[in-house]
Structure 1
């Protein structure tokens, strides 16, 4: 459907909505590339500050997922001023500002509208040198697939809203969602150059974004279900049926390209399709450096990082072993 919308073409536009990338790319010349993205969400937690932090981390992730550094961000706000106190809005903006500052970027205003439901996010401008750019595609056969954060935020927030999960489980999920995916700022140069492709795990779930990574190449990705990290309580809640509607939509949309092993339990399958908010990064890495990458990730706070699969020659499928 989006392909029918007219768009002016320009040779400086390296990637837009027709390329499956996490953000638009614009050539600035001399090897510099601008990264432009916009993302906003509805509240998934009641605390305004935490909601602001999660929404901002979610938006900033698109820049980090392309190997770039965010430079400037603008607030995108919808808020029901007629029925919610402005202190709530202040909390949301404060949480967002904290994450923008933590990311090393400047917050330079934004735009707000009156709406019946709060919505918040960011428009972000970042930059990356062409030698450090990560695209969604670019993995080679034999590359390892590394996941930096555990899965399960959609399941846990669904369970919490249904009164089935306690504050402790939600707090764990919030901690992961508010964590910045700022690997381009924190990984050593020699490890950064070993990463050949990347994307972040968001609404299409783990499997949807894995399939993006093999969408334009003659490759498959093999996933080891036993290695998939999950948030505390997520598998238990999935086994109880606390699965968001988005997970069923993802299954319906992507299952034709997924070869699911018969031994894979239903709750694990639900986890793989679970839509994430501010999920981790999927990284295709040189197999000679994957152990070093995982060790470093765990040292800088991504303690659940795992080698979860491997790329191989194929036809654009995901095989769950």
Structure 2
């Protein structure tokens, strides 16, 4: 197979190529109000992870789509990462995936068919691991490689987990360590070690299966996944949805070790700066916070972990669920309280 560096075609890879949250808010505000039938349980109101439409008293459809440009050079790894990231939105709603449709845009004059085939194989293998088929899709010829999925799942309407249900006193749990955007920036600069790349692929291809199981835990009040807007951005959406203040403890944030070193050396993505420009006014950092700490909480995560708000008495049960599906229990990073809809980092 011809050796092609996929990231050479990407102006911003993975979830780091998302439209900045401030710009996205402006674009969505200009959209005319659409039909909102009563069976549409989750739509665009709270910037949630997926749409949810009730079919009957016991079943609702979870629907999402997610795709991006390459975050790594290896085509098989790119396919796996993109597919894992797309299915995460179904899991974040408490849903169980049913099937997927492939979203494929490839520069056919630049990528050999074998390379494109490996991307598709990576996505199909992740779907197989999730127990679902890739049942179809759509493809176009474009300037940058783009791959992802439409994910369709099912959930009990009474057990949907949105990003807006957090309550005062809830504990925040994060299921994966931070630092994916930092590692991707280091990869593009030739600064990422083989061990760092291995950790990057390990976490970005870990399915967030815990979300489907947490649907049965009543004391889990809100769930979202941490992706392109960074920890602070997605937590801020949770705060706004519930009109609560979140406190995050910097010392407790789980970090991929190489990312922790690299960010102190100044390695970060441009998306981190765009994120801060979009929502930094609602994030309170310590007066003596270092620049790398700001970059860490705004670092765009590709296929990041679930961010869970649950009652304090449910922490051990929630961590047991996480441990059962990914081998590690997740980390308590802070909590929710009454106050202004903002994120406070201490």
Shared fold per TM-score greater than 0.5: yes
Give CA-to-partner distance per residue, 1:119-171, whole Å, 9 cap, x none: 10001111100222100011111110000000000001101111122222111
Rate the CA distance shift 1:115–1:24 in 2: closer, same or farther, 3 A: same
In structure 1, how many angstroms separate the alpha carbons of the residues matched to 2:269 and 2:41? 35
Aligned to 1:177: 204
Q: Residues 226 and 303 of structure 2 are in contact (CA less than 8 Å); yes or no, is this contact kept in structure 1?
A: yes
Q: 2:286 is matched with which residue: 252, 261, 268?
A: 261
Rate the CA distance shift 1:318–1:184 in 2: closer, same or farther, 3 A: closer
Q: CA deviation at 1:319?
A: 0.8
- 1:168 paired with 2:188, answer no
In structure 2, how many angstroms separate the alpha carbons of the residues matched to 1:293 and 1:304? 8
Give CA-to-partner distance per residue, 1:260-284, whole Å, 9 cap, x none: 1134433222111001100000000
Give the secondary structure class of the aligned counterpart of 1:300: helix
In structure 1, how many angstroms separate the alpha carbons of the residues matched to 2:192 and 2:176? 20
In structure 2, how many angstroms separate the alpha carbons of the residues matched to 1:63 and 1:296? 17
Q: Residues 176 and 306 of structure 2 are in contact (CA less than 8 Å); yes or no, is this contact kept in structure 1?
A: yes
- 1:76 paired with 2:103, answer yes
Give the secondary structure class of the aligned counterpart of 1:55: helix
Rate the CA distance shift 1:182–1:166 in 2: closer, same or farther, 3 A: same
Q: Residues 213 and 321 of structure 2 are in contact (CA less than 8 Å); yes or no, is this contact kept in structure 1?
A: no
Q: 2:336 is matched with which residue: 311, 317, 321?
A: 311
Aligned to 1:279: 304
Rate the CA distance shift 1:302–1:221 in 2: closer, same or farther, 3 A: farther
Query: Superposition RMSD on alpha carbons, in Å?
Result: 1.6
Rate the CA distance shift 1:47–1:213 in 2: closer, same or farther, 3 A: same
Aligned to 2:170: 143
In structure 2, how many angstroms separate the alpha carbons of the residues matched to 1:83 and 1:247? 29
Give the secondary structure class of the aligned counterpart of 2:242: coil
Q: 1:197 is matched with which residue: 222, 227, 244?
A: 222
Aligned to 1:248: 273
Q: Residues 139 and 197 of structure 1 are in contact (CA less than 8 Å); yes or no, is this contact kept in structure 2?
A: yes
- 1:219 paired with 2:244, answer yes
Aligned to 1:47: 74
How many residues of Structure 1 are paired with residues of Structure 2 in the alignment?
319
Which region of structure 1 is more displaced relative to structure 2, 264-273 or 120-129? 264-273
Q: 1:54-69, aligned counterparts within 5 Å? A: 54-69=81-96
Which region of structure 1 is more displaced relative to structure 2, 295-304 or 99-108? 295-304
Q: 1:46-125, aligned counterparts within 5 Å? A: 46-125=73-152
In structure 2, how many angstroms separate the alpha carbons of the residues matched to 1:300 and 1:32? 24
Aligned to 2:5: none
Aligned to 2:48: 21
Give CA-to-partner distance per residue, 1:150-209, whole Å, 9 cap, x none: 0000001101111122222111111100110011455694xx332110000001000000
| Structure 2: stretches of 5+ with no match in the other structure | 1-26
Which TM-score applies when normalising by structure 1?
Answer: 0.95
Rate the CA distance shift 1:32–1:300 in 2: closer, same or farther, 3 A: closer
Give the secondary structure class of the aligned counterpart of 1:78: strand
Q: Residues 51 and 63 of structure 2 are in contact (CA less than 8 Å); yes or no, is this contact kept in structure 1?
A: yes
Which TM-score applies when normalising by structure 2?
Answer: 0.88
Q: CA deviation at 1:72?
A: 1.5
Give CA-to-partner distance per residue, 1:233-264, whole Å, 9 cap, x none: 11211111111001001111111111111344
| Structure 1: stretches of 5+ with no match in the other structure | none
